[in-house]
Chains A and B, each alone.
Chain A
Amino acid sequence: MLVLDDVTRRFNEKTAVAGVSLSIPSGSFVGVIGRSGAGKSTLLRMVNRLVDPTSGAIRFGDVDVTKLQGKALRDWRARCAMIFQQFNLVGRLDVLTNVMLGRLNHRPTAYSLVKSFTDRERAMAISALERLGIAEVALQRAGTLSGGQQQRVAIARAILQEPEIILADEPIASLDPRNAQVVMRSLQALNRNDGITVVTNLHTLDTAREYCSRVIAMANGRVVFDGAPEALTEPVVREIYGVEADDASFSERATSTSLGFGLNPSPAFAVS
């Protein structure tokens, strides 16, 4: 159980996250939605302490995440893997090495620095790549891959961390619909088969509806909705995205990235 208790983060004058309290049971698949700048990224990055909260507490089981330092903090980060929008791989290293870097926290630094990995770690990396269907690119440089492939390499790296939580910060925002589906299904499989908790920021509602068992909506740093995706009715959505009630041109489909074949052109692009 991941618990956020009145967590606030301020950047100078601006409050990115304002007094958020949440509890996320282990094994859930949670989507966080909201406009750009609503505080989604900051919220996620506070969980693995890439950003430190200004006040409040984050707890996981009996670990007080907000108090961790040094080795204990690095251990915690290994337990909650992060997937980034821009993948953040080491472009000049080959894919297999990138994936094995997920083991760094589990092994002696001296061996890692001379790139000496064990047979077991290589096998883990290869089977992770096979599981994601990209074993054939294992020897290429990560920087030469397409966006969808790079994101799958990033997920493979996360798998090697053997994490309890996966934090995904807009994992499909730079991908085409086909690759977006592959990436979301991979996260879903990790959640269902391996019991890993997934918390992901999403900017498309249809993705949240399709994959998440719970949706949290943020606006101006606060949680404005927290519930099942079915409860996301149009008035609720308009409020989350700050759309005026009489603005008829707003449609959820305008942001859709699903492969909805036979979808009519969105009213937002209709020529008047």
Chain B
Amino acid sequence: MSRTTEPALSPKGLELDRRWRALAAQRRLYTILILLGVGGALVASLRYANETNAGDFFERLPHFFDFTSWLIPRDWNDVWRALFDVATPSADGTEATNYPLGRVYLFGDVYLPEYFELMLVTLNIALVSTLVGVLGGVSLCFLAARNTMTNAWMRGFARRVAEIMRAFPEIVIAGFFAAILSIGPIAAIFAVGIHTIGALGKLFYEVVENIDMGANEGLSAVGANWFEKVRFGTLPLILPNLVSYSLLRLEINVRASTIIGAVGGGGIGQELKLAISRGFGAKTLALVLILFVTIVIVDNLSAHLRRRLVGEQAFGL
């Protein structure tokens, strides 16, 4: 870098140059310190995790495939048979290979395979809890946002409600409700729904705080009351983001509902936990397959819906 300053600067310009360089050097120092801090924290956390682990990560890595060997079925076609509840020639009389057992007969000989039914139970949990979460989150967000709610007490109350609702992991809430409402999807809906209200409430009120208040000012000048301003000055502006976050939450909730199943929330998660713990190889693979395909479909469907509902222009395309 050459030290010649051309074009020649006035004394004021030189002073400006010096001050800008001092400012830039200071900013750069902060950036470097932050990066070093983040890097150091990452290395330290990983090392600590490895030290507190029972076995060393790199020593245990080669045993990865020992553990999964029980998954390999005697006949790969058994995965399909397990998925569609078709009897297998390699049936040995145990539950591990008795696929038709779980058939859910609709009428006559027409049946819904067990895992499809369980997947529906789980999807239903996700859907209901997302709807509950969106309704709750929207109701909370206008009370919690600084620009729509000027009363600090009301705002604080709404924010604490949202915080408490999302503070507990779904599994903890599910365990609590399973004890009261008995094991099954109702407890799961409560658990996922409550957490979703809290999580979406926070995301939504941050969206509300980011809007341009011009429209609200316009409506104030018209003589609109609080509800009218929220309805016409705020809601239309946040709707695209609302849709995006709600659909993202639906995707998250499909996974959450599956996990909840493993702690007594019913649905496909419960079956997956059973299959793994008892070592049902083909059944486990069938469950993993249907879960994987469903999640891919839900994610793509929600991406498609988002484009349709929000419109291409919101993505800057």
A residues whose Cβ falls under 8 Å from a Cβ of B? 94, 96, 115, 118-120, 122-124, 126-127, 130, 135, 138-139
Does B3 make an interface contact (CB < 8 A)? yes
Q: Which of B13-21, B37-45, B50-58, B189-197 contacts A (4 or more CB under 8 A)?
A: B13-21
Interchain nearest-CB distance for B8 vs A (Å): 8
B5 close to A120 (CB less than 8 A): yes
Nearest 8 A/B pairs, CB to CB: A123-B5, A126-B13, A127-B7, A96-B20, A119-B5, A138-B16, A126-B16, A123-B9
Does B77 make an interface contact (CB < 8 A)? no
Given A122-B20, A139-B19, A139-B20, also A130-B13 (CB < 8 A): yes
- Please report whether the interface of chain A is mostly helix, strand, loop or mixed according to DSSP: helix
Given A135-B12, A135-B13, also A120-B20 (CB < 8 A): no
Given A118-B1, A130-B10, A135-B12, also A123-B23 (CB < 8 A): no
How many interface residues does B have (CB within 8 Å)? Answer: 20
Does B312 make an interface contact (CB < 8 A)? no
B3: which A residues are within 8 A, CB to CB? 119
Residue in B closest to A119 when the chains form the complex, CB atoms = B5
B residues 121-158 in Cβ contact with A at 8 Å: none
B20: which A residues are within 8 A, CB to CB? 94, 96, 122, 138-139
B16 close to A120 (CB less than 8 A): no
A-B contact pairs, 13 of them (CB 8 A): A115-B28, A118-B1, A119-B1, A119-B3, A119-B5, A120-B4, A122-B5, A123-B5, A124-B7, A126-B16, A127-B7, A130-B12, A130-B13
Residue in B closest to A117 when the chains form the complex, CB atoms = B24
A139: which B residues are within 8 A, CB to CB? 16, 19-20, 23
A94: which B residues are within 8 A, CB to CB? 20, 23
Residue in A closest to B28 when the chains form the complex, CB atoms = A115
Interchain nearest-CB distance for A106 vs B (Å): 15
Does B6 make an interface contact (CB < 8 A)? yes
B16: which A residues are within 8 A, CB to CB? 96, 126, 135, 138-139
Does B313 make an interface contact (CB < 8 A)? no
